[in-house]
C-alpha cells in the first residue's frame, strides 16, 4: 500500500509503498477515509529541533488525525466491529502506571503516539488497538470525524479539570488563532461564553478572518495593537479583565498578555508550546493575581471524546468546525499541504485518499 514515510533524519517525507500492517488479537485494521494535518506533523516534516530530539525510530509513517472504516478485527476485540466508522485516539497507554490508574491516562508514563512512535495514518490502512478506536456516528462526514482529536484538545483547554471549569456567561480570551485556537472559539461560543476575544500575531489573515466568522466578538491583531491590546480587552470587560484566558500560540508575548488581561482569581490554560524558556514575572502574573494555571497536554481519555461527540451533534457547531478546513487535498499532495501551512495561508488542511 502507499504511505507517507519519514525515511531520513531530514526535512520532508516520501510517498512510498509499504507492506500492509498485521493486526494483533487486540487490534483492528482501519481503512483510511480522511486524515488531517496537525502542527506536529508539520514539525516532523520541517525536521525542527523538537522533531530531531523526539523521534527515535525511523522510518515510520507520519500522521495521526484519522477517520476510517474498520475492515478487520483481532480475535479478542469485542467493542468494535467490521464496518464501523472510527477515529483514532492517538495516545496508546499502558493502563497500569500511576497516571493511568488515577484518571490521567492522557499523561501516561509510558505513552506511545501514533505517527510519532509507531506507524501513523497518512497511508491506506492502519492498525489500531481496540481501545484507541473511537466509534463514530456512521453519518458523520469523515472530514469532520478526522478533526475530533484536535477538537478534543480544544475542549481540554477550555475545560481542563475534570471538564468542570466554568465558561457560562464569562468573558474569555483566546490567544492564538491556529486550528486548535479556532476550534476553541467555536467551543466557547457553543458553551455560552459571554464575550470571546481572539488575538493573533497578525501574519495569517486567513485565520483571523476565520476567528471572526466562527464567532469571536473581537479579533485583535497583536502586531498592530501592541501595548494597547490588554487595555482594549480590559475596557471591554467593565475594567475587570477576562475570567479565563486560553494561551494557544506559544508566543512569549501572548503568555504575558494572557495573565495581564486576567481578572484576579481567574484562570489561564496553557496549550501553546514555547520555543524557549521565557523571562516571567511570577509575582505579578500568578501570585498577586491569585491565578489558577493549567498546563494542557493531550486530552482526557475519553471524556473529551464524549463531549466532542455531544457538541458535534449540534448543526451550528458542526458548521463552525467544518469552516476551519480551508483546503482538501489528495494524499499524494501532502507536500503542498505542508507548504500551505508553513506559508500561513491555511486554516486546517485535510488529506483524502488519492495516491496517483
Interaction with a second copy in 162-221: which residues (CB under 8 A)? 162-171, 187, 190-195
CB 91 within 8 A of CB 301: yes
**Smallest separation, CB 184 to a second copy (Å):** 12
CA distance 243 to 240: 8
Q: Which is nearer to a second copy, 100 or 211 (CB)?
A: 100
70 three-class SS: strand
Rule CB under 8 A: is residue 48 a binding residue for a second copy?
Answer: no
State which of positions 66-105 bind a second copy (CB under 8 A). 78-79, 95-96, 98-99, 101-104
Q: How far is the CB of 121 from a second copy (least distance, A)?
A: 22
Which residues face 65 on adjacent strands?
Answer: 36
For residue 314, give the C-alpha cell: 449540534
The correct pick among 185, 245, 258, 296 for binding a second copy (CB under 8 A) is 296
- Closer Cβ to a second copy, 51 or 346, answer by number: 51
All residues at 6 or more sequence positions from 287 whose CB lies less than 8 Å from its CB, including other chains: none
| Minimal distance, residue 78 CB to a second copy, in Å | 8
Supply the DSSP symbol for 123. Answer: B
Using CB under 8 A as the binding rule, whether residue 320 contacts a second copy is answered as: no
Reading the block at residue 288, the C-alpha cell is 498577586
Residues 8-27 that bind a second copy (CB under 8 A): none
Site residues for a second copy, 107-136, by CB under 8 A, read 107, 109, 130-131
Write down the least CB distance from residue 226 to a second copy, Å: 21
Among 301, 321, 349, 350, binds a second copy (CB under 8 A): 301
Cell numbers that stand for 275 in this block: 520555543
Stretch in the footprint of a second copy (CB under 8 A) among 60-68, 153-161, 204-212, 224-232: 153-161
Cα–Cα distance for residue pair 287/303, rounded to 1 Å: 31
Candidate residues 181, 298, 337, 347; the one interacting with a second copy per rule CB under 8 A: 298
If binding means CB under 8 A, how many residues of this protein chain bind a second copy? 81
Please identify, using beta-carbon distances, which residue of 202 and 310 lies nearer to a second copy: 310
* Overall residue count recorded for the chain in this entry: 356
Residue 103 Rama label (left phi>0; alpha psi -120 to 50; beta)? left
Cα 2 from Cα 5, distance rounded (Å) = 9
Among 9, 278, 336, 354, binds a second copy (CB under 8 A): 278
Provide the phi-psi class of 226: left if phi over 0, else alpha when psi is between -120 and 50, else beta: left
Residue 265 makes contact with a second copy by CB under 8 A = yes
End-to-end alpha carbon distance in the chain: 12
**Segment near a second copy (CB under 8 A); pick from 35-43, 141-149, 173-181, 275-283:** 275-283
- The SS3 assignment for 101 reads helix
DSSP readout, 7-67? -SSSS--EEEE-PPPPP-TTEEEEEEEEEE--HHHHHHHHT-HHHHHH--S-SEE---EEE
* Residue 354 binds a second copy (CB under 8 A): no
Q: Is residue 144 within 8 Å of 36, Cβ to Cβ?
A: no
Please identify, using beta-carbon distances, which residue of 83 and 277 lies nearer to a second copy: 277
User: Nearer to a second copy by C-beta: 224 or 279?
Assistant: 279
* Closest separation in Å from C-beta 49 to a second copy: 12
Least distance in Å: CB of 135 to a second copy?
Answer: 10
Please tell me whether residue 139 binds a second copy under the rule CB under 8 A.
Answer: no
Q: Write down the least CB distance from residue 322 to a second copy, Å.
A: 17
Amino acid at each position: 500500500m502507499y504511505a507517507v514515510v519519514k525515511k531520513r533524519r531530514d526535512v520532508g517525507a516520501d510517498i512510498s509503498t509499504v507492506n500492509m500492517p498485521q493486526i494483533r488479537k487486540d487490534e483492528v485494521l482501519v481503512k483510511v477515509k480522511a486524515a488531517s494535518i496537525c502542527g506536529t506533523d508539520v514539525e516532523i516534516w520541517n525536521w525542527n529541533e523538537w522533531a530531531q530530539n523526539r523521534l527515535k525510530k525511523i522510518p515510520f509513517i507520519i500522521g495521526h488525525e484519522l477517520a476510517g472504516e474498520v475492515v478487520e478485527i483481532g480475535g479478542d476485540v469485542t467493542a468494535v466491529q467490521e464496518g464501523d466508522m472510527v477515529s483514532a485516539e492517538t495516545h496508546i497507554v499502558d493502563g497500569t502506571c500511576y497516571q493511568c490508574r488515577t484518571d490521567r491516562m492522557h499523561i501516561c508514563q509510558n505513552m506511545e503516539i501514533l505517527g510519532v512512535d509507531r506507524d501513523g495514518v497518512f497511508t491506506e490502512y492502519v492498525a489500531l488497538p481496540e481501545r484507541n478506536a473511537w466509534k463514530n456516528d456512521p453519518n458523520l462526514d469523515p472530514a469532520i470525524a478526522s478533526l475530533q482529536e484536535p477538537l478534543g484538545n480544544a475542549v481540554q483547554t477550555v475545560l481542563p479539570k475534570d471538564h468542570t471549569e466554568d465558561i457560562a456567561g464569562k468573558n474569555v480570551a483566546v490567544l492564538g488563532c491556529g486550528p486548535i485556537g479556532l476550534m476553541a472559539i467555536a467551543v466557547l461560543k457553543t458553551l455560552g461564553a459571554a464575550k470571546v476575544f481572539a488575538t493573533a500575531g497578525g501574519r495569517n489573515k486567513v485565520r483571523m478572518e476565520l476567528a471572526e466568522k466562527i464567532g469571536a466578538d473581537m479579533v485583535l491583531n497583536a502586531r498592530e495593537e501592541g501595548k494597547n491590546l490588554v487595555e482594549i480587552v480590559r475596557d471591554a470587560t467593565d475594567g475587570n479583565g477576562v475570567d479565563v484566558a486560553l494561551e494557544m500560540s506559544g508566543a512569549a508575548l501572548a503568555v504575558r498578555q494572557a495573565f495581564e488581561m486576567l481578572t484576579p482569581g481567574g484562570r489561564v490554560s496553557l496549550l501553546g508550546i514555547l520555543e524557549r524558556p521565557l523571562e516571567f514575572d511570577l509575582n505579578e502574573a500568578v501570585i498577586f493575581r491569585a491565578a489558577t494555571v493549567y498546563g494542557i497536554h493531550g486530552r482526557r481519555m475519553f471524556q473529551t471524546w464524549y463531549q466532542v461527540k455531544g457538541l458535534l451533534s449540534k448543526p451550528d457547531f458542526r458548521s463552525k468546525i467544518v469552516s476551519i478546513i480551508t483546503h482538501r487535498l489528495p494524499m499524494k499532495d501532502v507536500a503542498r499541504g505542508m507548504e500551505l501551512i508553513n506559508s500561513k495561508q491555511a486554516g486546517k488542511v485535510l488529506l483524502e485518499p488519492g495516491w496517483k
